[in-house]
Amino acid sequence: MVKYILKRLGLALIILIGVSALIYLLVMLMPTDYIDNQTAAAVQSGQMTYEDVQRLKELYGLADKSFTGIVKSYYSWLTSAIQGDLGFSFLYGRPVTQVINDYVWISFLISLIAYVIEIIIAIPMGIKAAVNQYSGYDYTVSVFAMMATALPAFFLAALLMNVFSIKLGWFPLQGLTTATKIFDPNDWWGIFLDKAWHLVLPIVTLTLLNIGGLMRYTRTNMLEVMNSDYIRTARAKGLSEKTVVNKHAFRNTLIPLVTTLSGMLPGLFSGAMITETVFSLPGIGYMALRATLQGDIPFVMGYNLFLSALTIIGYIISDIMYTVVDPRVQISK
Amino acid sequence: MSNKENNRDNTQYLTIKEEKAIARENKKIMTQFEREKNRKNVDESEYTTQMRNPSNVIEFDNLHTYFYTDVGVNKAVNGVSFVVPEGKIVGIVGESGCGKSVTSLSAMQLVQGPVGQIVDGSIRYTTSEGKCYDIAKMPRDEMRRIRGKEISMIFQEPMTSLNPVFKIGEQLDEALEIYNENLSASEIKARSIEMLELVGIADPENIYSNYPHELSGGMRQRVMIAMALICEPRLIIADEPTTALDVTIQAQILDLLLEVKDSIKGSIMLITHDLGVIANMADYVVVMYAGKIVEAGEINDIFKNPKHPYTVGLMRSLPSLSNIENQEKLFSIPGQVPNAVNLPDYCYFCNRCDYSFDACYESYPEDILFEDGHRAACFLYADRFKDLDLNRPQLPKNIASSSDDQFARKIPQGRVDFESINNPKEKL
Amino acid sequence: MNNQLYKNEKHNLSAEKNTKKIEQGRLAKKEREAVNSSESDNFKALSPTRMVAKRFFRSSLSVVGLTMVIFVFVFSFLGPTLVKGIWDYGETEVFHIPRESQLLSTASFEGADGRTYEYYDKSTSTITVKSPPSAEHPLGTDTNGFDILIRLMYGGRISLMISFLTVFLQLIIGIFLGGLAGYYGGWVDQVIMRIVDIFASLPGLPILLVLSAVIASIESIPAEHRIYYLMGFLTLISWTGIARLVRGQILSLREQEFMLAAETTGIKSSRKILKHLIPNTIPQLIVSATLSLGGVILYESTLSYFGIGVPFPRAAWGSMIAMADPSKGQEILANYPNMWLPAGILIVITVLGFNFVGDGLRDAFDPRQKR
């Protein structure tokens, strides 16, 4: 087992290096970067010369845009990245790792809550739809799931804001705190409630966006299981339909569900870029969008590497979970 | 395309509209059946009935099981009547798709719903408590008490019939637990292990805590048999129990079935397409073709004196040594089982039959009872065609004689009234 | 035809006649057989394409999906031509429709004298944009005075074009690389699959943002060409699915008997791929391509929403919804649903349409489908 995990991690490292190289190349091709953006006004007004700008770029390893130059600067970036140093964010004026650490938790919180709600709602509904295949319930669930997957996040967010914030006034429109209210720093309950109030709509948005896919996935797998021979055997034993569904069928449906859902766990840290942006939540996704649009190269690099690492860790977790949940799978390599 | 061809086109293919109409109609019928089956607190008198002959374990009477597909109603079982006498083995033979499995699944109410439904007829069964139920009319909740304890089933595919995520022990225990709530966990375990030992598993304690995928196909089938027998059912339905196994294992499993049958004093309904298996195991044979019984009777009568051309064809297609000696080609019945959706209103076999004559294309033949007690549905033996000089099928000499040795076995003592269940109006 | 004889005269028949009759019966049987076999054999033997089409049209969801897709196509491709031909305007025609706008603001505050004062201000101004729906402009005009309906049509046109071309590119790259990996195996497979792994681990949206931001900031690239780059990028992050699918299919098909049969006949390897393997993967490819059409549209509209997709002044559904972004003021989100709601509904219709059609196709292709 340990050997298997080590081997997977080794392979993951190779992929990660490949990904980082690819991203680095793409990012370096950005013709504009934060330095250009920031110094443009200064150069125009004569406060800085073109040489000053170049010196500044050299300092950050951004000056040489020839192939060898990119390779060299990638190498130096990689060596420091391996040591855990992802550089210094231009936009936020702090080390990239620190920026990520500062903003990732709010993203994680939103995603985690949405993830839990999704599981609680989607799995029972998917199972019920599969057990009553071709019934009215099944059709309703399927069509709803399809609708949810077809909705663009920003449109769904706009709809929710229009109805629940503007028309009904139940929830605040944007942000994480009410700007007009001043809280006593000791009133942690009040602060907590205020923040929670602001997070309702983003969480609803995220949940609705992902619930359809999970529902369909559960339904498809459950259908496959329900049609298998061992379910017939279970019925032939005289088990009640409840036991057949909840024990025999569900336990088998759990295999793909657990592997997929556990593979999604690392992704909860990646931030919901669109939703956070639309609701102006200071999560990692929103921060990354701003950094990307402004050409903050170190942060963009660090964030994308972070995301790729999460994706790969997700693959590994789901592979490992597969061996845990399914007794048939044994590690052969 | 000419107009004529166009017309033919329309008669052959269902249009989408027609299919949708069928689907709508089916849905209506299926919901009705499902609602009927799902009723709670049904009065017992509704499905209590009387056996025709108390020495039978189960009586199938004019059973119709249909599948409501989108291309039309598939009459998988279309009026089947036979009985399983107590302590006997009844073999059901026929090509694949002739309704053998559906008949057996009907007896367990395991036909894949809502598409498949028992439409008509009855399946009478007497429980160990002495109550006689009509399984065809039993509500689903009540049926559960029959499954496993009264009637149990061994399936064709041992590889996929065991739940892959539970240990063998858990799956055995579970079957026992349902009907023995007063037993303690250790007692149940002991019983399960005993059962595994009974079916000839060498290392039962170990196998008890194994997962199905760790066992071979033969071992799994033994486990399936153990599971089917653990509640000591009165009737075991074995649906092609050896088809998926290799030949050497087949014989072992069949012997095992015979042994355990005696140890629990049960009866067996053995479904197979292998006449050799039937010859070695069964007391009675039911030959099915396209959802109907074409011939039924005691094993010796059927094997020595087959009447229906289909049975004769089946026997001739058995390989035998004399075939090789005479350098004959192995016989095979030409053509295929007809599509069960569009069955003709005359004999279903006539277009594959070497002996068919005009009457075969007019109507479906009634059952004919022979002196030796077996019956066949074929016009060749009908009274009204008695005087016609028809070319009636005979088993080739070599097969008839070889089958004598091949199928030699003791003749069952005391004839059980096997035909009592025949359609009364058809009785001659 | 002969049954009369049997019923009435069977006892009178001589043996000779009898055999004759039987022989006649045999002949009749042969004739019937000929008819029967052609009928019963053809009963289900529709050509595969017709079979698939039939199964597809049987499902009401796929028909609904197809209707949706056709509607969007007619709307986005025929619509602009029609409007251009009759009223002669396009997506960037500015309409100044003056109307009076009254801005009312009230506030109450406590004056220095301790009394409460009501502040009441009413200002009337004339604005020429954001006109409400009217007969000439069924959905009104937007902040720039563009007709919203015509922009929806042009937006659909660009979305559909981008998605179809992207999926086409995906298929070319995916089939080529997946085919190579699956057929040759060994180190070719290893290298290609590691590349696939790397591309599949790329974070989709952030990378698209980086790339689009690059393109958006290069002034030497004319805005017209930006969408072509966009398609390239969309392909870049989404071809891996097709490659994996083709490789997996080929690997499983290689194991099957008919490939062995092809090998024994000595067909060349390239022909083997083309003649036997690729056609077998086509059903899956069609399904996967249809389903990814919707995905590409979602990506494209997201980029346009962030302002780095289809460049202004060209219309895109995403950028039309972006007008409602509350960060730029709540007014449009609250009071002008005609400006953003239709675009969102159209995105949903299109994506849903493609998904329904894709699902319907998958069910229609799947031979295991029993029902």
Q: C218 to chain A nearest CA, in Å? A: 7
Residues of chain A with C-beta less than 8 angstroms from the C-beta of C209: 273, 289, 292-293
When scoring B361, B386, B391 by the number of chain C Cβ atoms within 10 A, the one with the most, hence best to mutate, is B361
Q: Does position B135 have pLDDT exceeding 80, yes or no?
A: yes
C156 in the same domain as C24: no
- Average pLDDT score, chain C: 76
Q: Do C15 and B389 touch (CB under 8 A)?
A: yes
Q: Quickly state the pLDDT bin for C363 (edges 50, 70, 90).
A: confident
Tally Cβ neighbours within 10 Å of residue A178: 13
Residue C121 lies in a domain: no
Residue C347 lies in a domain: yes
Residue A287 in contact with partner chain C when CB distance is under 8 A: no
Q: Quickly state the pLDDT bin for A97 (edges 50, 70, 90).
A: confident
User: Side-chain half-sphere of B405: how many Cα atoms within 13 Å?
Assistant: 8
Closest residue in chain C to residue A303, using alpha carbons only: C206
Residue C326 lies in a domain: yes
Residue C312 lies in a domain: yes
Residues of chain B with C-beta less than 8 angstroms from the C-beta of C42: 12
User: Side-chain half-sphere of A316: how many Cα atoms within 13 Å?
Assistant: 21
Q: Which residues of A288-325 are buried (b: 16+ CB within 10 A; e: fewer)?
A: bbebbbbbbbbbbbbbbbbbbbbbbbbbbbbbbbbeeb
Residues of chain A with C-beta less than 8 angstroms from the C-beta of B209: none
Q: For B299-328, write each residue's pLDDT tens digit.
A: 888 888 888 888 888 887 776 666 566 666
Closest to B261 (Cα-Cα) out of B236, B298, B230, B280: B236
Q: Quickly state the pLDDT bin for C198 (edges 50, 70, 90).
A: confident
- Looking at residues C356-360, what average pLDDT do you find? 88
Q: Do A239 and B144 touch (CB under 8 A)?
A: yes
Q: Quickly state the pLDDT bin for A37 (edges 50, 70, 90).
A: low
Tokens 């009855």 belong to residue: B122
Residues of chain B with C-beta less than 8 angstroms from the C-beta of C33: 351
C313 in the same domain as C208: yes
C64 in the same domain as C14: no
Closest residue in chain C to residue A21, using alpha carbons only: C198
C156 in the same domain as C40: no
Distance CA B418, CA C106 (A): 99
| Residue-range definition of the domain harbouring residue C31 | 2-44
Q: Does position B259 have pLDDT exceeding 60, yes or no?
A: yes
Q: For B94-119, write each residue's pLDDT tens digit.
A: 887 788 889 988 988 888 877 888 88
C181 in the same domain as C303: yes
DSSP readout, C263-318?
HHTT--HHHHIIIIIHHHHHHHHHHHHHHHHHHHHHHHHHHHHTT-SSPTTS--HH
What residues of chain A, 28 to 57, have a C-beta less than 8 Å from chain C?
A: 29-32
pLDDT value at residue A30? 64
Residue C6 in contact with partner chain B when CB distance is under 8 A: yes
Residue B178 in contact with partner chain A when CB distance is under 8 A: yes
C256 in the same domain as C178: yes
Residues of chain C with C-beta less than 8 angstroms from the C-beta of B387: 10-11, 13
Q: What's the structural domain count of chain C?
A: 2
pTM listed for this prediction:
0.81
Q: Does position A119 have pLDDT exceeding 90, yes or no?
A: yes
Residues of chain B with C-beta less than 8 angstroms from the C-beta of C58: 16, 19-20, 70
Q: C302 φ, ψ to 5°?
A: -65, -45
Radius of gyration of chain C (CA): 33
Three-state SS for C116?
Answer: strand
Residues of chain C with C-beta less than 8 angstroms from the C-beta of A299: none
pLDDT value at residue C37? 44
**Selected residue with higher pLDDT from A90 and C151:** C151
Q: Which residues pair with B288 in a beta bridge?
A: B293
Residue C229 lies in a domain: yes
Q: For A164-198, write each residue's pLDDT tens digit.
A: 887 787 877 777 776 666 777 777 777 777 778 88
Q: Is residue B271 within a helix (H) or strand (E), and if so which, with residue range?
A: strand B267-271
Q: Do A308 and C197 touch (CB under 8 A)?
A: no
Structural domains of chain A sorted by starting position, each given as residue range(s) with its CATH number in brackets: 96-325 (1.10.3720.10)
Distance CA B56, CA B46 (A): 21
pLDDT value at residue B419? 44
Q: Residue C64's domain is classified under what CATH number? A: 1.10.3720.10
- Looking at residues C67-82, what average pLDDT do you find? 89
C7 in the same domain as C77: no
Residue C369 lies in a domain: no
Residue C164 lies in a domain: yes
In sequence order, what are the residues at sequence separation of 6 or more whose Cβ sits closer than 8 angstroms to the Cβ of residue C249? C182, C277, C280, C281, C284
C17 in the same domain as C156: no
Q: Which residues pair with B64 in a beta bridge?
A: B78, B120
Closest residue in chain A to residue C305, using alpha carbons only: A154
Q: Do B155 and A232 touch (CB under 8 A)?
A: yes
Instruction: Give the range with max mean pLDDT: B31-35, C92-96, C344-348.
Output: C344-348
Q: Which stretches within chain A are classed as H helix?
A: 2-28, 34-44, 50-59, 67-82, 96-131, 136-150, 153-160, 188-226, 229-236, 241-243, 250-264, 273-278, 284-294, 297-325
C351 in the same domain as C210: yes
Q: Does position B367 have pLDDT exceeding 80, yes or no?
A: yes
Q: Do B165 and A251 touch (CB under 8 A)?
A: yes
- What 8-state DSSP symbol labels residue B224? H
C79 in the same domain as C29: no
What residues of chain A, 161 to 180, have a C-beta less than 8 Å from chain C?
A: 161-162, 166, 173-174
- For residue B163, give the nearest of A134, A234, A326 by CB distance: A234
In sequence order, what are the residues at sequence separation of 6 or more whose Cβ sits closer than 8 angstroms to the Cβ of residue A1? A323, A331
Residue B40, token pair as written in the block = 């709670």
Q: Which amino acid is at C64?
A: V
Residue C102 lies in a domain: no
Q: Given phi > 0 = left and psi -120 to 50 = alpha, else beta, which region is C96?
A: beta
Closest to B356 (Cα-Cα) out of C188, A220, C28, C144: C28
Q: Which amino acid is at B286?
A: V
Q: For A41-77, write each residue's pLDDT tens digit.
A: 666 676 767 777 777 666 666 666 667 777 877 888 8
Q: B339 to chain C nearest CA, in Å? A: 8
C contact chains, 3+ CB pairs < 8 A: A, B
What residues of chain C, 37 to 76, have a C-beta less than 8 Å from chain B?
A: 37, 39-40, 42-44, 46, 54, 57-58
pLDDT value at residue A34? 61
A contact chains, 3+ CB pairs < 8 A: B, C
C156 in the same domain as C36: no
Closest residue in chain B to residue A242, using alpha carbons only: B141
C171 in the same domain as C35: no
Distance CA C109, CA C116 (A): 6
Closest residue in chain B to residue A225, using alpha carbons only: B163
CA distances from C35 to B100, B130, B351, C41 (A): 29, 54, 11, 10
Distance CA A303, CA A301 (A): 6
